[in-house]
């Protein structure tokens, strides 16, 4: 059984983020399963820290992007999900290739969500784990 309240394709989500941080970092949604969302990000000069390995902040940006998009698909159109708290444990360094984030819910509530995001390399080795808390709020009319 699917957890999603809104149906979207990876292409629609990628287009939505193309001119924002996810687009500039090369983050791409690649799969939406019944209870997870998967996204990738290249590990290159745009996502490296000065020592030539994946920047922890880039990993957090990938985790928050995957979790935020997943949360957005779980709320009705009158509401939106906004990041409230995120933590990350960086477990393995990587200097090239792709990292793949998979976001799955721990909790989907009326006013908050908690998401678990695992980031793995192309050999499926765990690079980073993250927990993201989202606040669910009513959308306000634009002024």
Rg (CA), the chain: 15
Question: Looking at per-residue confidence, does 140 or 137 come out higher?
Answer: 137
| Residue 4, domain member (yes or no) | no
pLDDT in tens, 92-111: 999 999 999 999 999 999 99
19 within domain boundaries: yes
> Does the residue 1 lie in any domain?
no
Q: What CATH number does residue 54 fall under?
A: 3.10.129.10
pLDDT band at 1 (very low <50, low <70, confident <90, very high): confident
Tens digits of residue pLDDT in 7-28: 999 999 999 999 999 999 999 9
pLDDT digits (tens, 9 = 90+) for 62-80: 999 999 999 999 999 999 9
What range defines the domain where residue 127 resides?
Answer: 10-138
- Put simply, whether the predicted model's pTM sits higher than 0.85 gets the answer yes
Catalytic residue among 31, 64, 78, 124: 64
Taking the C-alpha atoms of residue 141 and residue 138, their distance in angstroms, rounded to an integer, is: 10
Q: Is residue 5 assigned to a domain? A: no
Q: Residue 5 has which token pair?
A: 């309240």
Q: Structurally, how many domains does the chain consist of?
A: 1
Identify any residues that bridge with 54 across adjacent strands, giving them in sequence order. Answer: 48
**Whether pLDDT at 143 is above 80:** no
Residue 75 falls inside a structural domain: yes
Is 143 part of any domain?
no
The answer to whether 139 and 120 are in contact (CB under 8 A) is: no
SS percent in the chain: helix, strand, coil, step 5: 20, 45, 35
Catalytic status, residue 45: no
Is residue 3 in a domain? no
β partners of residue 128: 90, 119
Does residue 2 sit within a domain? no
**pLDDT at 55 exceeding the cut of 80:** yes
């Amino acid at each position: 059984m699917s957890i999603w309240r809104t149906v979207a394709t990876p292409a629609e989500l990628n287009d939505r983020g193309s001119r924002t941080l996810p687009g500039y970092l090369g983050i791409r949604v690649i799969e939406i399963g019944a209870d997870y969302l998967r996204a990738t990000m290249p590990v290159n000069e745009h996502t490296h820290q000065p020592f030539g390995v994946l920047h922890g902040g880039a990993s957090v940006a990938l985790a928050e992007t995957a979790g935020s998009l997943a949360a957005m698909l779980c709320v009705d159109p009158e509401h939106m999900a906004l990041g409230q708290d995120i933590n990350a444990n960086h477990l393995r360094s990587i200097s090239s290739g792709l990292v793949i984030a998979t976001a799955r819910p721990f909790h989907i509530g009326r006013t908050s969500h908690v998401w678990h995001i695992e980031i793995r390399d192309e050999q499926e080795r765990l690079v980073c784990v993250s927990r993201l808390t989202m606040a669910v709020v009513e959308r306000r009319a634009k002024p």
